[in-house]
Amino acid sequence: MPEDIKVLVVDDSAIVRKVFKEQLSQQRGITVIDTAPDPYVARDKIVKLKPDVITLDIEMPRMDGITFLRKLMKFSPLPVIIVSSLTSKGSKLSLEALSIGALEVISKPNAAYSVGDMSLQLAQKIRAVYGAKIKTPSRSNLQPQSAVVKASKALAETTNKIIAIGASTGGTEALKKVLTRMPQNSPGIVVVQHMPAQFTTSFAERLNELCQMNVKEAQNGDTVSNNNVLIAPGNFHMLLKRSGARYYVEVKNGPLVHYQRPAVDVLFRSVARYAGANALGIILTGMGKDGAAGMLEMKKAGAVNIAQDESSSVVYGMPKEAKDIGAVDYVHDIYSIPNKAISLLETM
**Parallel, antiparallel, or unpaired for β 223-224 and 246-252?**
antiparallel
CA neighbor of 83 nearest in space, from 13, 151, 143 = 13
End-to-end CA distance of the chain: 50
75 contact partners, CB below 8 Å, separation of at least 6: none
| Pairwise CA distance, residues 189 & 205, whole Å | 15
Cis ω for the linkage preceding 262 (within 30 of 0): yes
Which sequence positions are flagged as catalytic? 168, 194, 290
SS3 assignment, position 151 = coil
331 contact partners, CB below 8 Å, separation of at least 6: 306, 307, 308, 309, 319, 323
CA neighbor of 54 nearest in space, from 111, 107, 99, 10 = 10
Q: How far is CA 117 from the centre of its chain?
A: 22
Cα 157 to Cα 28, 63, 127, 161, 305, distances in angstroms: 53, 53, 44, 9, 20
| Pairwise CA distance, residues 144 & 138, whole Å | 12
